[in-house]
Chains A and B, each alone.
Chain A
Amino acid sequence: DADVTQTPRNRITKTGKRIMLECSQTKGHDRMYWYRQDPGLGLRLIYYSFDVKDINKGEISDGYSVSRQAQAKFSLSLESAIPNQTALYFCATSPLGANQPQHFGDGTRLSIL
Chain B
Amino acid sequence: AQKITQTQPGMFVQEKEAVTLDCTYDTSDPSYGLFWYKQPSSGEMIFLIYQGSYDQQNATEGRYSLNFQKARKSANLVISASQLGDSAMYFCAMSLNTDKLIFGTGTRLQVFP
Contacts and interface: CB of A to CB of B under 8 A. Distances in A.
- Is A bound to B? yes
Interface residues of A, number: 26
B18 interface: no
B102 to A, nearest CB: 8
A8 B33 CA distance: 31
A88 B4 CA distance: 20
Contacts, number: 63
B41 interface: no
Given A40-B105, A58-B100, A98 B33 contact: yes
Contact of B44 (A31, A100, A106): A106
Contacts of A42: 4, 91, 103-106
A44 to B, nearest CB: 7
B56 to A, nearest CB: 16
